[in-house]
Amino acid sequence: MVEPHQIQHAIRFDVSVRTLPEAGMPVRFEANEKELAALTRQLGIQAVRSLKADVLVKRWRGEGVRVTGELVADVVQQCVVTLDPLDETVREEIAATFVPDGSKLARVESPRDDALHIDPEGEDIPDTFNGDRIDLGALFCETTALGLDPYPRSAGAAMPEDLVLPADEEARVSPFARLATLRPKNGEEG
């Protein structure tokens, strides 16, 4: 299994957390052409034209760090219907917490019944970091990936009629039944 801190992200942007001001450190980031090209390849989309992030890096519970702000990226994906390029803007709020490796704050407290209890609306478990630096580039890459539309569709794009399944149950044909029509019958060569 690959550890999260061993994954190579398209963008690397380290910040030191050793000497954070009491009020936090504002960070403005704008990806350069090389980073945009690498992120395009990493995401497997047609283009990432721009990526900007404005965040505040602030101490959290003594040893931890909280990163809050916003990321905006202009991307080009392929329409799932027409396959035409589709311009989109990814706009995502950032709220991430980091703690040093081995911190008690990164552990999930298990209830006494040995069951795993997860609150889907609750806060994420903090990420961990080694040393005194956090790679915000990895956070920016992940935030962009999560903000992409998984099925981008151009306005007014419709599926061709021959690909739309009939509405009534009797008219539906099993995919296996369609495949069976392709199989050679006894005595025929395929």
Interval 92-149: pLDDT, tens = 999 999 998 877 766 656 556 666 666 677 677 788 888 889 999 999 999 999 999 9
Q: What angle do CA 34, 138, 141 make, to 5 degrees?
A: 65
**pLDDT computed for residue 169 by the predictor:** 52
**pLDDT computed for residue 2 by the predictor:** 40
Q: Confirm whether 179 is domain-assigned.
A: no
The total number of structural domains in the chain stands at 1
Residue span of the structural domain in which 127 resides: 4-158
**pLDDT computed for residue 24 by the predictor:** 94
Q: Confirm whether 109 is domain-assigned.
A: yes
Q: Confirm whether 154 is domain-assigned.
A: yes
Q: Higher model confidence: residue 120 or residue 59?
A: 59
Q: Confirm whether 99 is domain-assigned.
A: yes
Given a cut of 70, whether residue 37 has pLDDT beyond it is yes
Q: Confirm whether 175 is domain-assigned.
A: no
**pLDDT computed for residue 1 by the predictor:** 37
Place 44 in a pLDDT band, splitting at 50, 70 and 90.
very high
The answer to whether 105 touches 128, Cβ cutoff 8 Å, is: no
Say which DSSP state 187 is in: T
Q: Confirm whether 23 is domain-assigned.
A: yes
Q: What is the mean pLDDT of residues 147-169?
A: 74
- Distance from C-alpha of 173 to C-alpha of 176, rounded to nearest angstrom: 8
Tokens of 47: 């283009």
Question: pTM value?
Answer: 0.74
- Distance from C-alpha of 88 to C-alpha of 93, rounded to nearest angstrom: 16
Q: Confirm whether 15 is domain-assigned.
A: yes
Q: Confirm whether 58 is domain-assigned.
A: yes
